[in-house]
Amino acid sequence: MDVSTAIERSSQDVAEPASRSVDARGQSCPGPLVTLARALKDVPAGEVVELLATDPGSWSDVPAWARLTGNELVERERGEDGVFRYRIRKV
């Protein structure tokens, strides 16, 4: 998929609000995943965490990490400003 400006959601529902947002802009791999993992440790199951990142590798890394850890990638988006936004539900 072209990531120039893309939004993908796991369901047709309106995007759920995140209970917490973490900023990993400017970090390169594995920084965004480490930031996300730490944030998810602090929230209860069912909560959604938003991750902001600028690392282009995060476009494939975050979904793969979510699958491997059993969490749910609710949404991923790349804005025109080059910021990737992910919403991950802790399972």
In this prediction, residue 16 carries a pLDDT of 72
Cα 33 from Cα 65, distance rounded (Å): 8
In this prediction, residue 1 carries a pLDDT of 45
pLDDT per residue over 34-47, tens digit each? 999 999 999 999 99
Spell out, as residue ranges, where the chain has pLDDT lower than 50.
1-3, 12
Sequence ranges of the domains in the chain: 27-80
The catalytic residue positions are 29
Cα 1 from Cα 16, distance rounded (Å): 23
Q: Which whole-number Å values give the CA distances from 65 to 13, 70, 77, 79, in the listed order?
A: 23, 8, 16, 21
Pairing between β-strand 48-53 and β-strand 84-89 as defined by DSSP bridges: antiparallel
